[in-house]
Chain A
Amino acid sequence: MNVTIVDYNSGNISSVINSFKEVAKDKVNIEVTSDLNKIKYSDKVVLPGQGSFKSCIDALNNINGLVDVLNEFAISNKKPLLGICVGLQMFADIGFEETETKGLGWISGKVLKIDNQNGKFKLPHIGWNQINILKDSKIFKDIENKSHMYFVHSYEFIPEDKNVISATTDYSSNIVCSIEKENIFGTQFHPEKSDKSGLIIIDNFINL
């Protein structure tokens, strides 16, 4: 099996690579590439994302044909895809970081700045927070409710259809922190930095 981590200049992805390789050991081949053919023919795709919504979307668009290949992979062929952090946020129709930017439009909704209640909550939301699991997501197998995950973000994804939400976390309000819609998965937190629980999530995704 091939799992491809999309390398599209979205910032630092070395931790994502290290964690997937740690979990995959020799059982699964982890590719790190922006090669369209390799992405197309892989079994699973991981879409990381650091920096701003706009910078990540711009970086995707900078690679000719990449968005089309991702659309084909996730929407037409319905193969498993995991978005991490801004990788998840880009599923939305639109994001408002830096400037209004069109997203991939896979899951209706928008990406807005977390309401910090006039400075009562510091932003970025950095650190370990507990997740409230709202529905049985395949990537949460063996993950207990209220497990701690590592977060670092200032924006949150607000999907229109609340049924896609698989977990939230409490920071100023109930922030959406995990999504499952058919073959599309996303975590706002960083499983690659969430210690043993995070590695279980990665393992669950690899074993889907």
Chain B
Amino acid sequence: MLKNRIIPCLDVKNGRVVKGINFVDLKDAGDPVEQAKIYSDGGADEICFLDITASNENRDTIYDVVEKTSKKCFVPLTVGGGVRSVEDINKLLNCGADKVSINTAAVLNPEVVVESSKKFGSQCIVVAIDAKKNSDKWEIFTHGGRNNTGIDAIEFAKKMEDSGAGELLVTSMDRDGTQVGYDIELMFRISSIVNIPVIASGGVGNLDHLVDGIKLGNVSAVLAASIFHYGKHSVKEAKEYLDSKGIPVRI
């Protein structure tokens, strides 16, 4: 049976790990290579690096981090943040990333998704959808959550599947950093409309939130940052908890 995945996410800035509260107010907390190794040794099903300020700054440091991590971690490594072009994707894959997540570029230029999935295969193209609720719909935000595009997130999700995305990483901007749980309705709506796996992100504060994401949101994988990063829970604890709730996990 296919297992639900637990994916710790490390936000990286200038080669160092940070975690934002609603994408601002960053705290420095460690070396990404060492952190990733701790997670993979602890049973993380994948590792995700998000280069959070990459849209605005020199991002060569991330290549170095990816290269070093991929020589130490033998579980899938997803890297996102500031990925603009097919060439950026190529460079990250060559450094050892297994998947690349595309956010702003997928919205501004969906052709990047079409082209890159053809060139490298859908398996390594993850489209990251940052959505915020606006009355009865969810709208897509770009540039690390700063710009509202007004695009309907559910329709966009379907479009990205058709464009060749292999997975969708869905983040609720309302929930990110709040620790009150995933936006279950958003996750459920998107996972119901697409036939590709959905990864839930944004808002995890305790282990029950992971359970809810999978059971109620119907997602294939759950991504979380701060509950793992500040030592509140280990990945192992999370897996044992999910297992106790009848969710299939790799233990």
Judging by beta carbons under 8 Å apart, are B196 and A195 in contact? no
CB of B164 to closest CB in A, whole Å = 11
Which residue of chain B has the shortest Cβ distance to A169 in the bound complex? B2
> Among A128, A153, A154, which residue has its beta carbon within 8 angstroms of that of B2?
A128
Chain B contact residues: helix, strand, loop or mixed:
loop
CB of A32 to closest CB in B, whole Å = 12
Known: A126-B197, A129-B1. Contact between A195 and B121, CB under 8 A? no
Judging by beta carbons under 8 Å apart, are B70 and A124 in contact? no
Judging by beta carbons under 8 Å apart, are B98 and A195 in contact? no
Per the CB 8 Å criterion, the residue count for chain B at the interface is: 33
Which residue of chain B has the shortest Cβ distance to A17 in the bound complex? B96
CB of B206 to closest CB in A, whole Å = 23
CB of A167 to closest CB in B, whole Å = 15
Mark the stretch among A7-15, A74-82, A135-143 that contacts chain B: A7-15
> Among B5, B70, B95, which residue has its beta carbon within 8 angstroms of that of A128?
B5
CB of B250 to closest CB in A, whole Å = 4
Which residue of chain B has the shortest Cβ distance to A123 in the bound complex? B195
List of B residues within 8 angstroms of A50 by Cβ? 120-121, 123-124
> Among B4, B98, B167, B197, which residue has its beta carbon within 8 angstroms of that of A15?
B98
List of B residues within 8 angstroms of A198 by Cβ? 74
A122 interfacial contact with B, CB 8 Å: yes
B22 interfacial contact with A, CB 8 Å: no
Judging by beta carbons under 8 Å apart, are B123 and A18 in contact? no
CB of A34 to closest CB in B, whole Å = 16
CB of B1 to closest CB in A, whole Å = 6
Contact with B along A22-64 (1 / 0, CB 8 A): 1000000000000000000000000000111001000000000
Judging by beta carbons under 8 Å apart, are B3 and A193 in contact? no
Residue among A14, A19, A130 with max Cβ neighbours from chain B (10 Å): A14
B227 interfacial contact with A, CB 8 Å: no
Known: A124-B197, A125-B2, A193-B98. Contact between A152 and B166, CB under 8 A? yes
Chain B residues at the A interface, C-beta cutoff of 8 Å:
1-5, 40, 45, 70-71, 74-77, 93-98, 119-124, 166-167, 195-197, 220-221, 250
CB<8 Å pairs between A and B, sample of 9: A12-B97, A12-B120, A18-B96, A52-B121, A124-B122, A127-B4, A129-B2, A150-B75, A195-B40
Chain A residues at the B interface, C-beta cutoff of 8 Å:
11-12, 14-15, 18-19, 21-22, 50-52, 55, 116, 119, 122-130, 148, 150-154, 170-171, 192-196, 198-199
The 10 closest A-B pairs by CB, nearest first: A51-B121, A12-B93, A128-B250, A152-B123, A148-B250, A14-B96, A128-B3, A50-B121, A129-B2, A193-B76
